[in-house]
Amino acid sequence: MSDTTQTGPMRAADGTPLKTSLARALRRQKLRALMLIAPLLIFVLVTFIAPIADMLFRSVENQIVSETLPNTVRALKDWDPKSEASPDEPVFAALAVDFQVAAEQKIHTKLGSRLNYEDPGISSLFRKTGRGADDIGKEFMGRFTDADKAWKDGETWAALMGSDAWLEKQAEWAAAKEDGAREPRFAPRSEAADALPLTADAYRTFARDTQATGRKGVPDTKPWPALFTALAQDLATASPEALAAVGGPSAGLLAPAATAVAGFEPFSYKETFVGIDKDWDKVSNWETIRLYSGNYTPGYFLNAVDLEKGVDGVQTRPEQQRIYLKLFWRTMWMSMLITFCCLLLGYPVAWLLANLRASTANVLMILVLLPFWTSLLVRTSAWKVLLQQQGVINDILVWLGLVDDANRLVMINNQFGTIVAMTHILLPFMILPLYSVMRTIPPSYLRAAKSLGATNWTAFWRVYFPQSVPGIGAGAILCFILAIGYYITPELVGGTQGVFISNRIAFHISSSLNWGLAAALGSILLGAVLLLYYVYDKIVGIDNVKLG
């Protein structure tokens, strides 16, 4: 007889632990189930979850400053904004290189628009400087070519900055000139990168940019003026040993160039920039660049709740710039009011639906569903026709003599219009869950309550109503969440006083193109809904919500 009183985990007949055995038996089933939902899961992930996650990520993303002005951002670390003076020469020197490189790639305006969100007006400064910055490079280009004509040549630069291996491959490619063959990817010469860091960075960007546009080979392309600015700065600081370590065909040019640079007449980057636009001397502009130089920024979120970063940390925005908190608050209370109106109007209808004879209830149900078969725009426009000052309702009121013709009621393009139109539109979302819950409440409960001595009202309030609460919960949460994100109706009938936060999000997505702020507003909205959902779960209990 086998020992049945074993210790340790339960084991299957073949000795494997029962849990393993069970998991193995269920694995096929689980896999099959997963495969069944896989198409939808992938579809939702690819077309819905991923784009939304990416979009929301934009609310904190801020690489553009440090990517466009890497050297400037580094140099700015030493600057103290409290000194009340714009940064010194080194920062402007770095800016000169960064800005020219950016201007060559035409990305300086993008940065301008980005910073403009934080400091309105800064984008014009960037646009204007883009045109003038080239002159700095041209100045240095002139000085270098005066020293040696070879500097004007793209090949000189390629030989100096490119690695030997790359130069070899590049030469092969240039010789073959096959159609469609891509130029070998640029690889930097490591000693040159060590000795001339600014130049190497700029040249890498130059080479990539050239290869990306891909008309001519890198050595055949005219070097950017920015390279000369960078080279002048590098040579002024580079040690002779480091320069001597650089090899390659153009290595011989470096030592004379370094000597020439030492003999250059002094050049003030700061004066040049201030000469292009005197706003470069303003502390506030530099403060903005410094504050938003991080890879990630809370700036959009601060902006979304009417705050901003200041010299002394977070501060509220000026009175006339505060708008979002007001909008969030308005969205919340109007959505709640709309939900409440839906409940007030929908409850009796749902009750009728659940208690009428089937044939009558079906007709009523069609009436409830009718709005679903009509376009949202049509329904909203219909409300415009009804509610406007020369509209149907006003006409009737005037005709009845209830309203004076001169004082027609303003019922549209304000909060009233939004509430009326949205209550109408969201009503089915309240009625349907209510109805499906009410249908499951047997009439015998009401009868029982009455037979026990309860009046009609007590029977309803103590017995029927508590049992319909799951339906109220489902309807309310559905209506509220739909209302809080509603966009078209407030846009059309809300005027300025009846618009929601979603209208502002849409504005930033499609008009101001401040997607970061739109993402931050959207994230806050999402967070608020999730928070409310959590609170709702704590109070009502999500188990108590029934859709049928």
Q: What share of the chain is helix, strand, coil (3-state, %, to 5)?
A: 75, 5, 25
**Of 415 and 468, which CB lies nearer to another protein in the complex structure?**
468
Q: What is the total count of residues that contact another protein (CB under 8 A)?
A: 19
Binding range to another protein, per CB under 8 A, among 142-150, 384-392, 427-435, 455-463: 455-463
User: Which one of 20, 63, 268, 455 is in contact with another protein (CB under 8 A)?
Assistant: 455
User: Which one of 145, 389, 467, 512 is in contact with another protein (CB under 8 A)?
Assistant: 467
CA distance linking residue 53 with residue 180, whole number of Å? 38
Asked if 462 is part of the footprint of another protein (rule: CB under 8 A), the reply reads yes
Shortest Cβ 438–another protein spacing (Å): 14
CA distance linking residue 130 with residue 70, whole number of Å? 17
The answer to whether 548 and 433 have CB atoms below 8 angstroms apart is: yes
Other beta carbons within 10 angstroms of residue 53's beta carbon come to 10
Other beta carbons within 10 angstroms of residue 289's beta carbon come to 22
User: Which one of 8, 39, 318, 466 is in contact with another protein (CB under 8 A)?
Assistant: 466
Surface-to-core class of residue 345, CB atoms within 10 Å of its CB (0-12 exposed, 13-18 middle, 19+ buried): middle
Surface-to-core class of residue 442, CB atoms within 10 Å of its CB (0-12 exposed, 13-18 middle, 19+ buried): exposed
Asked if 510 is part of the footprint of another protein (rule: CB under 8 A), the reply reads no
**Of 255 and 361, which CB lies nearer to another protein in the complex structure?**
361
CA distance linking residue 97 with residue 134, whole number of Å? 10
State how far Cα 301 lies from the chain centre: 10
Binding range to another protein, per CB under 8 A, among 76-84, 143-151, 193-201, 444-452: 444-452
Shortest Cβ 449–another protein spacing (Å): 7
Q: In terms of Cα–Cα distance, which of 306, 327, 300 is closest to 318?
A: 306
User: What HEC string does 306-330 produce?
Assistant: CEEEECCEEEECCHHHCCHHHHHHH
Binding range to another protein, per CB under 8 A, among 1-9, 219-227, 398-406, 440-448: 440-448
Binding range to another protein, per CB under 8 A, among 303-311, 332-340, 395-403, 454-462: 454-462
Asked if 359 is part of the footprint of another protein (rule: CB under 8 A), the reply reads no
Asked if 266 is part of the footprint of another protein (rule: CB under 8 A), the reply reads no
**Of 83 and 456, which CB lies nearer to another protein in the complex structure?**
456
The answer to whether 368 and 374 have CB atoms below 8 angstroms apart is: no
Binding range to another protein, per CB under 8 A, among 281-289, 325-333, 418-426, 462-470: 462-470
Shortest Cβ 458–another protein spacing (Å): 6
Extract the tokens encoding 446: 């009401």
CA distance linking residue 350 with residue 355, whole number of Å? 9
User: Which one of 237, 284, 315, 451 is in contact with another protein (CB under 8 A)?
Assistant: 451
Asked if 16 is part of the footprint of another protein (rule: CB under 8 A), the reply reads no
User: Which one of 57, 296, 399, 445 is in contact with another protein (CB under 8 A)?
Assistant: 445
Residue numbers of the site for another protein (CB under 8 A)?
442, 444-445, 447-456, 458-459, 462-463, 466-467
